[in-house]
């Protein structure tokens, strides 16, 4: 039987108004949890976010925490270790370094290409090929990424990176990248690119972050329709936008769920927070009414603490 499966990041946030009720976050009634097909439990300092693990499992690609080969999957690079490399800005304090969200850099294509041309030769000396992909990220290829654990960019943005820095003694393949990070910080500190950005009131690029490292031997063969729905994630900084996104999702799930079940297809939703993800499937006829009636209710109580 084919399926429709929707992965929803940022489903367990702070109190927002949804419909007529004020809720702590979207809740899963006990009946849903009893019917849940899968639950993923992490902690706030895990290397990956729950939605990343849930999405990787649904795609049937390697899904170990901190080792999901997103770069290989998204670029369809097979049998070659690779990773995403993100230019970033670290706020360096006395005791820690905090990564600013990368979208605050507002890197133009021209700036990013200039930075890439400047930095790529240093990586080449260490056996890493750095290919330009977009203004926000570049593709890094090299054997160092074959067995490489790294905290995802989504996990570390806005946080101190100290707890996520690898132990180069335990993971020697990380040593070259740690040295390259230090070299790039020195290179970019007084570079004209940095001076020009400072003059425009923009954060400088003073480091990089590695994400999505690993090797993919074959592309997944989807057996159904899988979608990552980022509407809640994109709306999470606005209470009104977040509530509106929830209402839109609930309406969509009810309509799509009815259509899927009528067509004999399974319909699943995975709700993801910072520490957990829960997958709920509407498949059996006996579950149809329960599933759709729960979707139609105003979210009520305790997903905060659940996700």
- Which string of DSSP letters, residue by residue, matches 49-67? -HHHHHHHHHHTS---TT-
In a domain? residue 65: no
Instruction: Identify whether residues 259 and 145 lie together within a single domain.
Output: no
Boundary residue ending a domain (148, 183, 214): 214
CA angle 201, 207, 211 (to 5 degrees): 120
In a domain? residue 82: yes
Domain that holds residue 158: 70-214
Q: Look at the block and give the residue holding tokens 């910072």.
A: 274
In a domain? residue 175: yes
Instruction: Identify whether residues 137 and 231 lie together within a single domain.
Output: no
Boundary residue ending a domain (164, 185, 214): 214
Q: What integer pLDDT is reported at residue 279 of this predicted model?
A: 84
Between CA 286 and CA 291 the distance in angstroms is 9
Instruction: Identify whether residues 281 and 246 lie together within a single domain.
Output: yes
The per-residue pLDDT string of the chain (307 residues; one tens digit each, 9 = 90 and over) reads 588 899 999 887 644 444 433 333 344 444 444 455 678 889 888 999 999 999 999 999 999 999 999 999 999 999 999 999 999 999 888 778 899 999 999 999 999 999 999 999 999 998 999 999 999 999 999 999 998 889 999 999 999 988 887 665 556 667 778 888 888 888 888 889 899 999 999 999 999 999 999 999 999 987 889 999 999 999 988 888 888 888 888 888 878 887 887 888 888 888 888 888 888 877 544 444 544 454 444 443 334 445 5
Residue of 64, 4, 2, 9 whose CA lies nearest to 231? 9
Instruction: Identify whether residues 101 and 174 lie together within a single domain.
Output: yes
Q: Look at the block and give the residue holding tokens 């990380």.
A: 174
Instruction: Identify whether residues 238 and 184 lie together within a single domain.
Output: no
Between CA 242 and CA 230 the distance in angstroms is 11
Instruction: Identify whether residues 88 and 141 lie together within a single domain.
Output: yes
Instruction: Identify whether residues 239 and 158 lie together within a single domain.
Output: no
Using the CB atoms, write b or e for 17-27: b if 16+ within 10 Å: ebeeeebbbbb
Residue of 191, 223, 228, 224 whose CA lies nearest to 206? 191
User: In which element (H, E) is residue 178 found?
Assistant: helix 175-189
Count: domains in the chain: 2
In a domain? residue 305: no
Instruction: Identify whether residues 178 and 266 lie together within a single domain.
Output: no
In a domain? residue 302: no
Instruction: Identify whether residues 17 and 75 lie together within a single domain.
Output: no
| Residue 139 · residue 131 · CB < 8 Å | yes
Instruction: Identify whether residues 135 and 206 lie together within a single domain.
Output: yes
Instruction: Identify whether residues 203 and 282 lie together within a single domain.
Output: no
Q: What integer pLDDT is reported at residue 287 of this predicted model?
A: 47
Instruction: Identify whether residues 205 and 237 lie together within a single domain.
Output: no
Q: What integer pLDDT is reported at residue 297 of this predicted model?
A: 46
CA angle 247, 248, 251 (to 5 degrees): 85
- Which string of DSSP letters, residue by residue, matches 228-245? E--HHHHTTT-HHHHHHH
| Residue 193 · residue 206 · CB < 8 Å | no
Between CA 305 and CA 114 the distance in angstroms is 45
Q: What integer pLDDT is reported at residue 171 of this predicted model?
A: 60
In a domain? residue 307: no
In a domain? residue 98: yes
Predicted model pTM = 0.84
Terminus-to-terminus CA distance in the chain, angstroms? 29
Boundary residue ending a domain (171, 194, 214): 214
Please, what is the angle between helix 175-189 and helix 109-125, to 10°? 130
In a domain? residue 301: no
């Amino acid at each position: 039987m084919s399926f429709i499966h929707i992965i929803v990041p940022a489903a367990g946030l702070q109190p927002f108004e949804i419909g007529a009720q004020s809720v702590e976050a979207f809740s899963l009634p006990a009946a849903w949890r009893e019917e849940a097909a899968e639950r993923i439990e992490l902690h706030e300092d895990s290397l990956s976010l729950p939605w990343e693990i849930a999405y990787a499992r649904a795609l049937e690609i390697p899904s170990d925490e901190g080792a999901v080969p997103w770069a290989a999957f998204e670029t369809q690079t097979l049998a070659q270790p690779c990773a995403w490399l993100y230019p970033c800005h670290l706020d360096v304090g006395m005791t820690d370094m905090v990564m600013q969200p990368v979208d605050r850099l507002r890197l133009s294509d021209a700036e990013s290409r200039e930075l890439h041309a400047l930095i790529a030769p240093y990586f080449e000396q260490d056996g890493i090929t750095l290919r330009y992909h977009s203004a926000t990220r570049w593709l890094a290829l090299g054997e160092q990424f074959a067995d490489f654990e790294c905290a995802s960019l989504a996990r570390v943005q806005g946080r101190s990176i100290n707890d996520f820095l690898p132990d180069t003694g335990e993971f020697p393949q990380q040593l070259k990248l740690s040295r390259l990070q230090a070299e790039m910080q020195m290179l970019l500190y007084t570079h004209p690119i940095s001076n020009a950005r400072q003059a425009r009131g923009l954060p400088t690029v003073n480091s990089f972050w590695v994400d999505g490292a690993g090797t993919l031997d074959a592309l997944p063969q989807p057996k159904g329709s899988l979608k990552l729905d980022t509407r809640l994630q994109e709306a999470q900084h606005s209470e009104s936008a977040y509530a509106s996104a929830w209402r839109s999702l609930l309406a969509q799930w009810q309509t799509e769920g009815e259509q899927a079940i009528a067509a004999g297809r399974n319909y699943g939703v995975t709700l993801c927070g910072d520490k957990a993800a829960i997958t709920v499937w509407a498949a059996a006829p006996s579950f149809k009414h329960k599933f759709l009636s729960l979707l139609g209710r105003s979210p009520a109580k305790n997903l905060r603490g659940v996700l």
